[in-house]
Amino acid sequence: MTLHNRSRYGRYAGGPDPLAPPVDLAEALDAIAEDVMAGYSPRHALQEFLRRGGRDREGLDNLARRVQQRRSELLSRHRLDGTLNEVKKLLDTAVLEERKQLARDAMMDNTERAFREMQLQNLPPSTAAAVNELASYDWQSSSAREAYDRIKDLLGREVLDQRFAGMKQALENATDEDREAVSEMLRDLNELLGKHRRGEDTDEDFRQFMAKHGDYFPENPQSVEELVDALAKRAAAAQRLLQSMSPEQREELMRLSAQAFGSAELMAQLNQLDDSLRALRPGEDWNGSERFGGQEGLGLGDGTGVLQDIAELDELSEQLSQHYNGSSFDDLDLDALARQLGQNAAVTARTLAEIERAMQDGGYLRRGADGDLRLSPQAMRRLGKSLLRDTAKQLSGRQGGRDTRVAGAAGEQTGSSRQWEFGDAEPWDVTRTMTNAIRRTMADGGDPGRGLHLAIGDIEVTETEARTQAAVVLLADVSFSMSAEGRWVPMKRTALALHHLVSTRFRGDRLQLVTFGRYAQSMDIGELTALPPLREQGTNLHHGLLLAGRFFRQHPSMQPVLLVVTDGEPTAHLLADGESWFCWPPDPETIRVTVAELDRLARSGTQATFFRLGDDPGLERFVQRLARRIDGRVVAPETGDLGAAVVGAYLRTHFRDGLYDDDWTAGI
């Protein structure tokens, strides 16, 4: 006999889709880095991305907006007189049927008939008062008596439904035994909660209660505390429902409640329950109210459910805001979000949480010595690679330009290799290429001894290094005007792209990043990326040139290359005592010492390129004079082309044999 294994497949309901693609962090990293370069802290930048969301994904703000829309929709759709209207309809039916019976009953004494008709005719206008007045009426019509008894049954089910969701439907057409079982449950529940308030209950007390009455609690609480939580939320919502009614509606319902199941004991038990829950959970909102303005009437139970939904929506709104101290995605109730906005909303929130986790666990954000988050070196490399790729596209689109993937073409081998990319002209690294093919074949279950088939991903090329090594200084203006005129982030993107190019393709070169505002200082790429916009006045090019000269002297065997990015004339210089002297318009002494320092760099053979940002005529005249003194060049790129201009100028120092035409940089 052969046994066949059979499997049944259905919709996955155990959490995130196991077949969903992994979270792509590239978009998040780009957005976070952009905000960091604009001056935000990495923590704030991460929070902002999670609030905004991505191109194809909602953020927290949109989820919060949908939560508020859902709340407004509930309030604008409903009104709270559903139970009163149902009772009034049943009362009208009972009175009408009784009058019909009185008219048909020929055997009834005329005096008695007139008395009964007068009773029915003179019922109070208040529904509750009329129901109470008819409590002792001797109904002649069986259908009238049935309609009136249904009022008591409806009220009983509604007041129970206020405290126990689903009770209205569960007790429809209930027998006396069913109602007695409910009363017994209430007595046992009040006894359990009373013992719990006094600290006298045990786990066994709870187990026995649930074993006996667990069917009344679909929430399936696992402890007395969970039971109290569920009951208190519902009871508080029921109280807010009453507070949301008009005083007239509230009075009517309170008077009608006495007729629930025709049992005063029931109301006493429910009042005792409410008292216990208030004492055990005083932090619940027992006194709030809402303003309903719709057309769809709600009964007591359904209305309580809506108030519970509104309370849950308010909690979700607070969780999504993430404004409170110690807030985190772990606080977000995904089950509640799915109930209120649908499963897709919960999936979105879970994905955002995964992005937050992955940004830290994946090594893109790390904590510094001060405990705050920082962009990690791994994140800087990935960001630099992305920015360099964008710059390469700009360069390859220039007339006469070549792709910047070449790592020192016509140079000497560095001993390193990298994966082949389209357009590479370097020789193959045969050993690494064959090793990659063998590993891939074995991983796919193949036998390398039976032959190999090369795939594109197997190929690695030998990296080469340009013969001319350079000591490069990027002088970046960080004066107030750079941030005020929208040039702050492009300047940082330029520095990142250049840094990545030098550190990955021209490892023999040395790069120094120097910022100059009121003072100049050398920075590593992480410090520059995180540098907030500065509001101090001063463009101290003199100090920046001093630091550049010091760096060049530390690398005497390398070709000195100076790249200056600025949007203003020098307005500050360094005094002998180390203090910065600021003056606007530029002081002649500032111009003199700045030019003198540039002349010293010229005598050491420095190749200089000045990148003029903006249309200041004074700056244009000044940098042109500087360029002529040092036999340098001036480039006036648009802000968005700054990265391509700087990287292109750097590449010219290595490829002066016609690989890049002069027309290429002139067109920037």
* pLDDT value of residue 527: 83
Q: Which residues contact 329 (CB under 8 A, 6 or more apart)?
A: 349, 352, 353, 356, 357
pLDDT computed for residue 403 by the predictor? 37
9 CB-near residues (< 8 Å, 6+ apart)? none
* Average pLDDT for runs of 10 along the chain of length 668: 45 50 69 72 76 83 93 92 92 93 85 90 90 90 93 86 85 82 92 94 94 90 94 93 90 81 79 93 92 89 91 90 74 90 88 79 66 68 75 63 38 66 70 86 78 82 68 93 87 88 86 95 87 85 96 94 93 92 91 94 92 90 91 90 87 58 34
pTM of the model: 0.63
- Compute the distance between CA of residue 100 and CA of residue 94 in angstroms, rounded to an integer: 10
* 436 and 539 assigned to the same domain: no
Q: According to the model, what pLDDT value does residue 392 have? A: 73
pLDDT on residue 655: 60
Residue pair 420/461 in contact (Cβ under 8 Å)? The answer is yes
What backbone phi and psi angles, to 5 degrees, belong to 88?
-60, -40
Residue 13 lies in a domain: no
In a domain, 298, yes or no: no
Same domain for 478 and 447, yes or no, is no
Q: Within this chain, do residues 199 and 327 fall inside the same structural domain, yes or no?
A: no
Gyration radius of the chain's alpha carbons: 40
Parent domain of 320? 26-78+314-375
CA–CA separation, 349 and 344 (whole Å): 9
Given the structure tokens 């100049």, which residue do they identify?
520
**DSSP state at residue 260:** G
386 within a domain of the structure (yes/no): no
- Is residue 7 included in any domain, yes or no? no
Same domain, 499 and 549: yes
pLDDT at residue 405, as a whole number: 38
Predicted confidence at residue 39, as pLDDT, reads 65
Answer yes or no: do 151 and 200 share one domain: yes
Same domain, 209 and 328: no
Report the number of distinct structural domains present in the chain: 4
Length of the chain, in residues: 668
Question: Looking at the domain assignment, is residue 165 inside a domain?
Answer: yes
